[in-house]
Structure 1
């Protein structure tokens, strides 16, 4: 017999904005994000920090949505891109996604882009770097 998948422990009340309890109480809510336990979060962050290519990043974006419901957008910002900080990494608002996780996922991706700048260059090329020239 299969045991239910472990669920993430809720953050202490008043510390986070994740609305974990709301998600558990809503029978029609998307509970996939609750499968992101602390251990699984560490594995995800490690995987994001060790990206090998833009295809790898895009694959992880798809898998994060399929498995956890996390919508992640990585694209050049509207202003000039002079450094890795000019690349916008945004997570869509989602009940159950911890505030800490909202900060650590973009930070892990930035570290990957800084260690492998060719991924950032491919990202810029994929988003038409010279569109206004």
Structure 2
């Protein structure tokens, strides 16, 4: 890399263990630094652990929204939580995922939704508030 990155980035995953496209993203950034969003690479393994812990300790629907917004602003990643069309009887009835993007590690794509699910299991009131916000008369 001819130009140094403006912040420390996540280390490479072992070859064949991940298909995140980290190297391709860095090559794009080398070619056009102003046109390439590399914020996702700021999420190091240590920071990911802290994020997972913070997500697991969410206590309210508003706090969940705040963390979603901060993840979007700081890392450029979007968390989507979608209730099943057939109704939600348990937390497993929610589709929780991170939107695919270059540089997003496979483990992160698995760990963040799992942490949200654990948070929902601890605090079912958040799930109720989420479902109320997405009802027929709700915004989404």
Correspondences of 1:94-133 after superposition (within 5 Å)? 94-128=101-135
Query: Once the two structures are superposed, what CA deviation does each residue of 1:29-78 show, in whole Å capped at 9, x if it has no partner?
Result: 21000000011000100000001101111111110010001011113122
The RMSD of aligned alpha carbons is: 1.7
TM-aligned CA deviation for residue 130 of structure 1: 8.5
2:23 maps to 21
Question: Where does structure 1 differ by over 3 angstroms across 4 or more consecutive aligned residues?
Answer: none
TM-score (norm 2): 0.86
Q: Aligned equivalents of 2:37 and 2:13: distance in 1? A: 18
Q: Aligned equivalents of 2:90 and 2:71: distance in 1? A: 26
1:81 maps to 88
1:5 maps to 7
Give the stretch that moved more between structures: 7-16 or 111-120. 7-16
TM-score (norm 1): 0.91
Q: Aligned equivalents of 1:77 and 1:10: distance in 2? A: 35
Is 2:59 the counterpart of 1:57? Answer: no
Q: Gaps (5+ residues) in structure 1?
A: none
Q: Aligned equivalents of 1:29 and 1:111: distance in 2? A: 33
Q: Gaps (5+ residues) in structure 2?
A: 30-34
1:75–1:123 Cα contact (<8 Å) kept? no
